[in-house]
Structure 1
Amino acid sequence: MVDETGLSPDDYASMVRAGEVLYARGWRQTFTVRTMVNQWAWLVAEVERGYDDMVEEYASDLSCRDWLAQAWPMLTQPVRTVWHAKIQPLDERFRAATVDDGGKAISGYMGVPPDVWTQVVMRRSAPYRAAARSRSG
């Protein structure tokens, strides 16, 4: 759990404002930082276990990290400091559980240019295992 007790009213307002701004930009609802960090934690754990849903579902699930990246500049420094301690280890775990494929597997489904989160394939996914077998064989 993240300790937000030292945050000021302005800090909380920045989180609310980020959710409202992103909703106005087209996100389906006014999400909170906590909701999206929790979704990111869930997705990272799924990727580590071997995410086996369809690529369209993965693209949708991955959008939580995109939301956090878009919200980040709108948050006050104290909010970023508090949440960085939770997000950074999740990002590291995600990178460890994936390999960079230059965005080939996922970016076409997201409708955005490849970025650090879409340029990966899960190490434990069926497509990755099949490609690894064909390279070794």
Structure 2
Amino acid sequence: MERTTDPVDETPLTAEEYEAVHAAVAAAAGSRSRSLNSLFADWKDVVEDVEEGYSLCAPEFDDDLACRDALGRAWPLLPPRVRAIRRPELDELDGRFRAATVPWPGRPEEPHQWWRYRIPLVVEAEAGLPRPGGWPLGWEVLPFPKPAGVRVVEWGRP
């Protein structure tokens, strides 16, 4: 767990707090082998992939968001002090994700699983392939045409 200069982080976590964190993550992620740190690391990786230009298809994007789903389920189960310690990190990653995505057209942002209804601003696609609804292949499964704010960047040009 990263240390901060926030006074709430000065006392080491108790054994009970650690056990509560492990139980919350196991309940949320469906696995005792996952950790809160690994969920944060996975969410950071997804955010970085989206910031750089997402290169996989929409179903893969949906799958990649599972780590944020698990964080969302675990969050209310975590001890309050752990939430206070980790809140700045989660807020920073969420803010970066919001900045690198656009909301689904016509859908108001809801607090519950808001990340599920956002699209990367930059989607990478193989050059020369069809673009149904303006989307690269693998994104046409979305129930709307590509929003004007989403840019498709081609890769694989000779």
Identity %: 30
Paired with 2:66 and 2:73, the residues of 1 have a C-alpha distance of 10
TM-score (norm 1): 0.76
The equivalent residue for 1:53 is: 56
Q: Secondary structure at the match of 1:118?
A: helix
Letter of the aligned partner of 2:28 in structure 1?
L
Candidates 148, 152, 157, aligned match of 1:132? 148
- Higher strand residue share: 2
Paired with 1:54 and 1:125, the residues of 2 have a C-alpha distance of 9
Q: CA contact under 8 A between 2:72 and 2:113: conserved in structure 1?
A: no
Q: Secondary structure at the match of 2:122?
A: coil
RMSD of aligned C-alpha atoms?
Answer: 2.5
The reply on whether 1:22 has 2:28 as its aligned counterpart is: yes
- 4+ runs deviating over 6 angstroms: none
| C-alpha deviation, 1:14, in angstroms | 1.0
| C-alpha deviation, 1:40, in angstroms | 0.4
Q: CA contact under 8 A between 2:25 and 2:35: conserved in structure 1?
A: yes
Gap regions ≥5 residues in structure 1: 105-113
Gap regions ≥5 residues in structure 2: 4-8, 125-134, 137-145, 150-158
Higher relative contact order (CA 8 A, sep 6+): 1
Q: Secondary structure at the match of 1:94?
A: helix
The equivalent residue for 2:114 is: 116
- Higher helix residue share: 1
Q: Give CA-to-partner distance per residue, 1:30-57, whole Å, 9 cap, x none.
A: 2211000000001000000001102121
Paired with 1:96 and 1:123, the residues of 2 have a C-alpha distance of 9
